[in-house]
Amino acid sequence: MKEKINLLHANGRTLLLRGLARLHCGLLAAMLFATVFALLPAVSLSVRTGPVEAFLRGLLLAVPAALCYYAIKRLKALWQFLLAALGLCALSWLLAGHWGGAALMAVMCLFRVRVRLQEEEEGPIASFFDQPAYPALAVFALAFLASAVAGLAVLQRLSLVGAALYLLVCLGFHGLSRLDGYLVLNQGMRNLPARRIQRIAGTAVAAVVLAGAVLLLPPAFTSECGVRIQLPSHTQTGKTPAQRAEEDAPLRLNQEQPPDFLGELEGPSWQIPPIVSYLFFGLIGTGTAVVVILGVVRFFKDFSRSYTDSRDLVQRLTKEERDQSAALEGVHKRPAFWDRSPSAAVRRRYRRAVLKSGKEPPQRALTPAEVEAWAGLREERLHQLYEKARYGPEPCTAEEAREAGRLG
Amino acid sequence: MTALLLCAGILLLALWALPRLYDRFWDKGLDCKISFTQDYAVEDEDSALLEVITNDKLLPLPALEISFHMDRRLQFGAGENASLSDQTYRRDVFAAAMRQKITRTLDFNCAGRGYFRINEAGLAAQDLFLTRKYVGSRPQNTEFYVLPRPVPTGQIQIPYSKIMGAVLSRKRVCDDPFEFGGLREYSRGDPMKYINWKATARAGRLLTNLHESTLSQQVVIAIDMEGGGLQGDFLTEAGVRAACSLAERLLAEGVELSLYSNGGDVRTGGDWKLEGVSGAGSTLFLKKKLACLGLGTGLPPVCGFLPQGLGPDGLLVLVSRSQRAEVAEAFSQAVGQGRGVRVVPCGAEHGELPQFSRIDTVWMEF
């Protein structure tokens, strides 16, 4: 496996980033095709391809997009790339099933050539095709708007699912690229615990993507998709609300029907028996649950054991060490949030005054007088009130708290 | 649609809240301790520095940078993780998971004599997604001495013989009450204060302590720390090594020493001097003191730091690479009616120095 990765001149992390970048191209192409193929019947043009099929086949454009990336990087002469571009356009046409795929690929190839020519003069340039961007979510928003205006429930669902997927791709890509950037920046550093940094930050990114998937995808798939926008021209026809309701009735009926993605595709009349589907999804669900549980157990086990990594001895803190540290923390503990006594108010005022004067927190070992000298705070009365609140045998009075408020 | 918006809201809230959690708690339970594994080492020896990071909280810190300033005479590996100027700025990256303690040992070579101290360590932590950086510091309190390397016996023999010759010619042996030599039976006339009461009680008869003798004559060593240029610094350092080796052997012989220098004390920031040292047990203290001796340019003449009124029995030793006439004259005046030995660290070739009647000159080639 490592040898194959070496052939691509990248490590696993970089390959994952490249995969996400290609997925971003695929998702955008898919949404574009689905919108076009959903809207064409609305302008009385008959098409054989449905929006779901167009969406799924559009996702396949991630493959020629990846080939295009490697072609522009590896082929030395431009004429070689142009020849390859022809092949990529043909492949895109085959995968998409219409000329739109070839056209998109041609545009991508042209941009790639332009970027390469620029790179020869200006150095590396980040291409739009190589990094998902949050503003691109506008494509899905536009598709959603179009579906709401035209009353296309299927397109609406596709736009929601596509937007959720694209958001997850963005989250994953940007999280990983920050991690990759940090590790590349510090790769010359000796004793860099790259594996542990990757494990902690990578797990966090994966957890966010997983949480996002769990939170967004099920509601996106099961959404009723009944959002509809009434254009103003529609109200000027002079029809009563009852008449409009009658006209909208077929659309609502259409929306209330359960989503049937497979129905959009032309396929054999024989269908898989429901028991097989239940069994399949049951197995997938159980397998996923087992993998997640094992992963979580392994994750926490890794963090709880002691081991040596390069020159680092990594140990789990013992209870004694934690108690000792907690005792030290207790010495410097601030008054609790719910402590509304005058003494606590004085201490809060004093802290705010010190932070305001000193701009940053002082060292913990300093006495109040040293802290004030460090921060340049010259309020003798505030000092006295603080000492009374912090160390005095008697608590501060409400009047003293008010006085501290005026001083601080 | 409502469920989707609600879920998206939850996700956004979580993504918004996490950085705030880090803003608030990034340094909670976070501690960093830097310490040298040894108290001291000799020039050219290897030693180690320990960095201990403790993260006692549930928020992991995927990238935690520890930085501190260190003198360039302590060389870590092949200049790894360090940027060099007049000091080394060292930066190390750790990955601290929740409730973890990480100990890293950094080996270094003691390339030069000196006193080294780390007062503060800088912390720069990043949040879980490496989007935000938090900066802080932790006070440190660790110090390390690099003692002068001893000069080979053959090289030090000539100046040592000159000094010992001058010392022995005025020899008066006294008991050194701090150097225990053994026990013997009490005899009439022994001072009461030398009776060892514990040993007496154990043996059932009066026993008195025997002390090592010390030579009554005091030797004063003056070390000129005027540096300047690569060769100047090298020869001055060679002079410190020579002075250290001489002092060590003189202490072993029971001679009482006083040392003065025009280089300041880098530990205290004041003048450097060491008065009335005797006994072989003081060797480590002397070496540590020499480790704190600062090198510089444009220093005042070393003879100005010597005590006034060196008697006819006094022996003054000057260790200086300087071959200037004014240094020789000032030294001659400081010697006065006593005796002087001038040790001059030099290269392969050296010129002639003005001769004075009460001063012996020894060239030491390095």
Whether residues A280 and A211 fall in one domain: no
Residues B290, B160: one domain?
Answer: yes
pLDDT of B153 reads 78
Which among A189, A201, A212 has CB closest to B62? A201
> CATH no. for residue B247?
3.40.50
Q: Residue B177 belongs to what H/E stretch?
A: strand B173-185
Is residue A330 in some structural domain? Answer: no
**Secondary structure of residue A323 in the 3-state scheme:** helix
In a shared domain, residues A161 and A274? no
Q: Kindly state the tokens that stand for B60.
A: 């992991």
> Does pLDDT of B133 surpass 90?
yes
Residue B361: its pLDDT value, please? 84
A274 and A362 assigned to the same domain: no
* Chain A, chain B: beta-carbon pairs less than 8 Å apart: 120
A245 and A286 inside one domain: no
Q: ipTM of the assembly?
A: 0.73
Please name the residues in contact with B248: beta carbons below 8 A apart, sequence gap of 6 or more.
B150, B283, B286, B287
Residues from chain A contacting residue B95 (CB–CB below 8 Å)? 193, 196-197, 199-200
Q: In what order do the strands lie in the sheet with B61-71?
A: B40-42, B133-147, B114-126, B61-71, B87-96, B82-84
Same domain, B161 and B63: no
> Do A313 and A345 belong together in one domain?
no
Q: What is the pLDDT of residues B80-110, one digit of tens each?
A: 666 666 677 888 999 998 888 999 999 999 9
| Cβ-based neighbours of B286, under 8 Å, separated by 6 or more | B244, B247, B248, B251, B257, B259, B274, B277
A230 and A273 inside one domain: no
Write the DSSP symbol of residue A129: G
Q: Which two tokens stand for residue A395?
A: 């608590």
Determine the pLDDT at residue B298: 85
Residues 172-191 of chain A with CB under 8 A from chain B are: 175, 178-179, 182, 186, 189-191
- Provide the pLDDT for residue A230: 75
Are residues B96 and B217 located together in one domain of the fold? no
Torsions phi, psi for A81 (to 5 deg): -65, -35
Interface touch A303/B8, C-beta < 8 Å: no
Classify residue A323: in a domain, yes or no: no
Residue B98 and residue B170 in one domain? no
Task: Indicate whether B314 and B166 sit together in one domain.
Answer: yes
Question: Tell me, what's the pLDDT at A263?
Answer: 47
Q: Is the pLDDT of residue B75 over 90?
A: no
Task: Tell which of A177, A313, A324 to mutate to test the B interface (max B CBs under 10 Å).
Answer: A313
Number of domains in chain A: 3
Distance between CA B59 and CA B99 in Å, rounded?
A: 8
Based on the fold, state whether residues B71 and B161 are members of the same structural domain. Answer: no
Residues in B touching A215 (Cβ below 8 Å): 7-8, 10-11
Measured distance CA(A228)–CA(A243) in Å, rounded: 17
Residues in chain A: 408
The reply to whether B122 and B168 lie within a common domain is no
Taking only residues 360 to 379 of chain A, the set having a beta carbon closer than 8 angstroms to any beta carbon of chain B reads 361, 363, 365
Query: Is A17 in the B-facing interface, judged by CB distances under 8 Å?
Result: no
Q: Report how far apart, in Å, the C-alpha atoms of A72 and of each of A83, A111, A117, A313 are.
A: 11, 11, 11, 45
Q: Are residues B252 and B142 in the same domain?
A: no
pLDDT exceeds cutoff 70 at B308: yes
Average pLDDT value for chain B:
85
Domain closes at, from B147, B168, B194: B147
Residue B2 included in any domain = no
pLDDT band at B251, cuts 50/70/90? confident
**Per the domain annotation, does A324 fall within a domain?**
no
Q: Are A311 and B129 an interchain contact pair (Cβ–Cβ within 8 Å)? A: no
Same domain, yes or no, for B168 and B87?
no
Q: Of the candidates B8, B93, B98, which has its C-beta nearest A186's C-beta?
A: B93
Q: Are B259 and B245 in contact (CB under 8 A)?
A: no
Are residues A274 and A256 located together in one domain of the fold? Answer: no
**Looking at the structure, do residues B239 and B323 belong to the same domain, yes or no?**
yes
Q: Is residue A48 part of a domain?
A: yes
Q: Do residues B280 and B251 lie in contact, with contact meaning Cβ atoms separated by under 8 Å?
A: yes
CB within 8 Å of A94: residues ≥ 6 apart: A101
- The number of helices, as runs of H, and strands, as runs of E, in chain B is 6, 17
What SS3 class is residue B316?
strand
Q: Identify all chain A residues contacting B128, using CB atoms and an 8 Å cutoff.
A: 200-201, 204
Q: Are residues B171 and B129 in the same domain?
A: no
CA gap B22, A271 in Å, rounded: 52
Residues of B within 8 A of A192 (CB-CB) are 93
Pair of tokens at residue A314: 């990594």
Range of the domain at A159: 2-267
Q: Which of A256, A289, A318 is the last residue of a domain?
A: A318
B117 in a structural domain? yes
Whether residue A325 and residue B56 make contact (CB cut-off 8 A), yes or no, is: yes
Task: Indicate the range of A343-357, B58-72, B218-232, B290-304 predicted with least confidence.
Answer: B218-232
Distance CA B70, CA B41 (A): 16
Residues A280, A140 share a domain? no
| pLDDT tens-digit map of A91-129 | 999 888 888 889 999 999 999 888 888 888 888 888 888
Which one of A312, A321, A331, A355 would you mutate to disrupt binding with B, by most B Cβ within 10 Å of its Cβ? A312
DSSP B348-361: S--------TTEEE
Query: Is A67 part of any domain?
Result: yes
Residues in a beta bridge with B31: B54
Position B357 confidence tier, pLDDT thresholds 50, 70, 90: confident
Closest residue by Cα to residue A167 from B62, B4, B131, B19: B4
Q: Identify the pLDDT of residue B66.
A: 93
List CB contacts (< 8 A) between A303 and chain B: 97-100
Q: What is the pLDDT of residues B252-263, one digit of tens each?
A: 888 888 999 988
Q: H or E element: which one contains B354?
A: none
Amino acid at B21: L
**pLDDT number for residue A262:** 44
Query: Minimum mean pLDDT among A387-391, B157-161, B218-222: which range?
Result: B157-161
Higher pLDDT, A226 or B53: B53
Give the pair of three-digit tokens for residue A218: 């099920």
B354: pLDDT strictly greater than 70 = yes
Last residue of a domain, one of A318, A351, A379: A318
Task: Check CB contact of A137 with chain B, cutoff 8 Å.
Answer: no
DSSP 8-state code for residue B195: B
pLDDT number for residue A168: 93
CB pair distance less than 8 Å for B102 and A200: no
More confident residue, A95 or B347: A95
Interface test with A, best of B65, B90, B104 (most A CBs within 10 A): B104
Q: What is the pLDDT of residue A11?
A: 80
Same domain, B91 and B226: no
Q: Whole-angstrom Cα distance, residue B68 to residue A340? A: 41
Counting the structural domains of chain B, the total is 2
Q: Which of residues 225-264 of A touch B (CB under 8 A)?
A: 225-227
Q: How many helices (H) and strands (E) does chain A have?
A: 18, 2
CA-nearest residue of chain A to B49?
Answer: A311
Q: Do B279 and B179 touch, CB atoms closer than 8 A?
A: yes
Is residue A16 helix, strand or coil?
helix
Is B22 inside a domain boundary? no
CA distances from B240 to B165, B246, B248, B259, B260 (A): 22, 10, 12, 11, 12
Q: Which residue of A has its CA nearest to B53?
A: A314
Q: Assign residue B96 the CATH number of its domain.
A: 2.60.40.1530
Q: Is the four-CA dihedral A150, A153, A157, A162 of positive or negative sign? A: negative
Question: Nearest residue on chain B to A360, judged by CA atoms?
Answer: B136
**Last residue of some domain: B147, B168, B188?**
B147
Helix (H, G, I), strand (E, B) or coil at A14: helix
Q: Report, as an integer, the average pLDDT of B41-49.
A: 93
Phi, psi of B331 (to 5 degrees): -65, -40
Please tell me the predicted confidence (pLDDT) of residue A253. 46
Comparing B217 with B28, the larger pLDDT belongs to: B28
Burial (CB count <10 Å: 0-12, 13-18, 19+), residue A297: exposed
Q: Show the domain range for B103.
A: 28-147
Indicate whether A117 and A24 sit together in one domain. Answer: yes
pLDDT of A290-315, one tens digit each? 888 887 777 666 666 778 887 788 88
- B349 pLDDT higher than 80: no
8 A C-beta contact, residue B224 and residue B320: yes
* Of residues A226 and B198, more confidently modeled: B198
Query: Is B16 domain-assigned?
Result: no
**Mean per-residue pLDDT of chain A:** 81
pLDDT at B287 over 90: yes
- Judge: A200–B62 Cβ closer than 8 Å, yes or no: yes
Which of A175, A189, A329 shows the shortest C-beta gap to B29? A329
Would the pLDDT of B119 be above 80? yes
In this structure, the answer to whether residues A245 and A276 fall within a common structural domain is no
Is B61 within 8 Å of B26 (Cβ atoms)? yes
Is A9 in the same domain as A82?
A: yes
Q: Give the residue ranges of chain A where pLDDT is below 70.
A: 1-10, 44-45, 232-274, 277, 299-304, 327-332, 408
pTM of the complete model? 0.72
Task: Please indicate, yes or no, if residue B3 is contained in any of the structural domains.
Answer: no
pLDDT at B228 over 80: no
User: Angle between the B283-291 and B229-252 helix axes, to the nearest 10 degrees?
Assistant: 170
Alpha carbon distance A13, A178 (integer Å): 11
Q: Can you give the pLDDT at residue B337? A: 79
CA distance A250 to A30: 28
Q: Cβ separation of B94 and A193 shorter than 8 Å?
A: yes
Q: Give yes or no: residues A49 and A97 share one domain.
A: yes
pLDDT for A358 equals: 80
Q: Look at residues A57, A59, A102, A91 and name the one whose alpha carbon lies nearest to residue A264.
A: A57
